A and B are shown apart, each in its own frame.
Chain A
């Protein structure tokens, strides 16, 4: 057990625990906070995987912006908890069974098909740094990059249109 591995397992446990916490919390605010924790740990994994730029983006965009937005909406609507429902009685057990099958399939794929065997070459120093990513984004992937900007604009307009209050409505 290398310190590396120990750190990984600790962090992995925290991530899974946080995910389960999000899943099981009754209160949506707790869910959101658990999710922030999960995102944080995932960001650490990114650093370990030589993706520092993505890691920082993860923290600022997901853990920062998106989750704050979630919290805003939760507070705004004030419906942190929901009453129990009688609808779809077979939904829950079926979901658990399916989830188990899915996890099983994934495990089978990983550990019996051996998809990731072999030595992993050490990447160059700058791999995953902002400079390398920037080079790729602004040269090879310029058009998709520009399209994302349009996408964001459309999303923004869409959000405004959906939530705007028309004159005369209360």
Chain B
């Protein structure tokens, strides 16, 4: 039996990679994927904790996270498409019109 803490460690690594992806990539699609990766990492940790304490709520929560993620992807991708239509580019560094 694998110690459950390993899973948590894996989740931490994946989360860090995801965060790094958000910070260093300029393609919003990849940023999005990174966000998905972070969510997945969190899910993994949650399932692992559910296993440790044998409570179902952890899994239930993962279920809801997935739903939210699905909704978020739908809206987010739609936003990207809409932005692409107006700016003809999706380079995230070109979207700085909110500059103070």
Binding site for B on A (CB under 8 A): 2, 4-5, 8, 12, 15-16, 19-20, 22-23, 28, 31-32, 35, 38-39, 42, 45-46, 48-51, 53-54, 57-58, 61-62, 65-66, 69-70, 73-74, 76-77, 79, 82-83, 85, 87-88, 91-92, 94-96, 98-99, 102-103, 106-107, 110-111, 115-116, 120-121, 123, 127-128, 132-133, 136-137, 141, 144, 148, 151-152, 154-156, 158-160, 162-163
Contacts and interface: CB of A to CB of B under 8 A. Distances in A.
Interface in B13-36: 13-21, 23-27, 29-30, 32-34, 36
B71 interface: yes
B2 to A, nearest CB: 5
Assign chain B's interface to a size class.
Answer: 35 or more
Contacts of A54: 43, 47, 59, 62-63
**Interface residues of chain A: helix, strand, loop or mixed (majority):** helix
B23 A95 contact: yes
Contacts of A107: 9, 12
B8 A116 contact: yes
A158 B75 contact: yes
Given A15-B14, A110-B12, A155-B74, A50 B51 contact: yes
Given A12-B10, A95-B23, A152 B71 contact: yes
Contact of A133 (B59, B81, B91): B59
Nearest to B29: A28
| A54, A132, A151: most-surrounded residue (chain B CB, <10 A) | A54
Contact of B90 (A77, A99, A110, A115): A77
6 contacts: A42-B43, A70-B29, A82-B26, A120-B51, A144-B64, A156-B74
**Interface residues of chain B: helix, strand, loop or mixed (majority):** helix
B1 interface: yes
Interface of B: 1-10, 12-21, 23-27, 29-30, 32-34, 36-37, 40, 43-44, 47-48, 50-52, 54, 56-57, 59-60, 62-64, 66-75, 77-82, 84, 89-91, 93
Given A73-B29, A82-B26, 19 more contacts: A23-B34, A38-B14, A39-B40, A58-B43, A66-B36, A82-B90, A83-B91, A85-B91, A87-B93, A95-B20, A99-B16, A103-B16, A106-B12, A111-B5, A111-B9, A120-B4, A128-B56, A155-B75, A162-B78
| B17, B34, B54, B79: most-surrounded residue (chain A CB, <10 A) | B17
